[in-house]
Amino acid sequence: MFTVFSRIIQYGFKNFWRNGWLSAATVAIMVLALIVFTGLILFSAVTDYAIGSIQDKIDISVYFTPDTSEDQILNIKQSLETLAEVKGVEYISRDKALEVFKTKHADDPTISQALVELNTNPLLASLNVKAKDPNQYAAIAEHLSGNSNLKRYIESVSYYKNQVVIERLNSIVRGVNRGGLLLTIFLAIVAGLMIFSTIQLATYSNREEIAIMRVVGASNALVRGPFLIQGIIAGGIAAVVSLVVSLPLVYALAPELEHFVPGLELFPYAYAHALELFFYELCFGIVVATLSSFFAVRRYLKH
pLDDT in tens, 209-257: 767 776 776 666 677 777 778 778 888 888 889 888 888 888 888 887 7
Q: Rounded CA gap, 101 and 54, in Å? A: 23
The closest of 28, 11, 32 to 191, measured between CA atoms, is 32
pLDDT band (50, 70, 90) for residue 122: confident
- How confident is the model over 260-282, as a mean pLDDT? 82
Segment 9-22, tens digit of pLDDT: 777 777 777 777 77
- How confident is the model over 135-141, as a mean pLDDT? 81
Segment 152-205, tens digit of pLDDT: 888 888 776 666 666 676 677 677 767 767 776 777 677 667 767 766 776 676
Q: Is 125 left (phi over 0), alpha (psi -120 to 50) or beta?
A: beta
Q: What residues contact 28, with CB distance under 8 A and at least 6 apart?
A: none
Q: Rounded CA gap, 2 and 9, in Å? A: 11
pLDDT above 70 for 290: yes
pLDDT band (50, 70, 90) for residue 39: confident
Sorted by where each starts, the structural domains of the chain and their CATH numbers stand as 2-54+171-301 (no CATH), 66-152 (3.30.70.3040)
pTM of the model: 0.63
Q: Please report the pLDDT score of residue 195 as a whole number.
A: 66
Contact 97, 123 (CB under 8 A): yes
The residue with greater pLDDT, 71 or 209, is 71
pLDDT above 60 for 303: no
pLDDT above 80 for 53: no
pLDDT band (50, 70, 90) for residue 269: confident
> What is the DSSP-derived secondary structure letter of residue 133?
S
Q: Rounded CA gap, 60 and 258, in Å? A: 28
pLDDT above 60 for 40: yes
- Strand stretches in the chain, DSSP E: 60-64, 86-92, 126-131, 154-157
Half-sphere exposure of 254 toward its Cβ, with a 13 Å CA cutoff?
A: 18
The residue with greater pLDDT, 162 or 108, is 108
pLDDT above 60 for 69: yes
